[in-house]
Amino acid sequence: MAGLSQERGGDPRDRRWRAWTTATLLAIASGAALAKGVSAPFTLSVTVFPAFKDVVDCGTRQQGAAVSLSCSAGSPAAGTSPRFLLNVYRDGAQVGTVEGSTVPGTLTSWKVVRIADRDFVEIVVGW
């Protein structure tokens, strides 16, 4: 009878092993069922310009709401497209740059507009 009882109930270590295995498999299965995800691809792009040459330094002067821009003497070499680079600072720390290309005489004005916690550079270009 003792042998039969052992056969029906099984070795306690085997029962624990089966229970642990079952629980683990259930946990894995339920975890796999719960973990869902959706993905979205996106693109990075970069445009690289060579280092600046024939640099003309410009400074700003603020008079009330108006900011005037003045540059040192100099003009781009004939046939080249001037580019501009604005170093953007906030609270004394540089937070980035704004740059672009133009042609002589087309950049008529620019100003910095602060809205909430953002500074926007507005550049007026005449075509």
Partner 1 sequence: MKKILLPLVAASSILAAASAHAVTTPAQGFNVTVTLTSACTVSAPAAVAFTYTSGQVGAATATGGGFNVTCTNNLPYTIALDAAGGTFAAVNLAYTLSLSAAAGTGNGVAQPFTVNGSIAGSQSGTCGSASCNDTSARTLTVSY
Q: How far is the CB of 7 from partner 1 (least distance, A)?
A: 43
Instruction: Count the alpha carbons within 13 Å of 108 in the hemisphere toward its beta carbon.
Output: 4
Distance separating alpha carbons of residues 113 and 66, to the nearest angstrom: 11
Residue 116 interacts with partner 1 (CB under 8 A): yes or no: no
Distance separating alpha carbons of residues 113 and 127, to the nearest angstrom: 23
Distance separating alpha carbons of residues 124 and 121, to the nearest angstrom: 10
Q: How far is the CB of 34 from partner 1 (least distance, A)?
A: 9
13 or 53, CB closer to partner 1? 53
37 or 74, CB closer to partner 1? 37
- x-or-dash pattern for partner 1, window 60-99, by CB under 8 A? -----------------------x-x-x------xxxx-x
Q: CB under 8 A: which stretch of 13-21, 39-47, 57-65, 106-114 binds partner 1?
A: 39-47
Cβ atoms 113, 120 nearer than 8 A: yes
For residue 117, what are its two tokens?
């916690």
39 or 63, CB closer to partner 1? 39
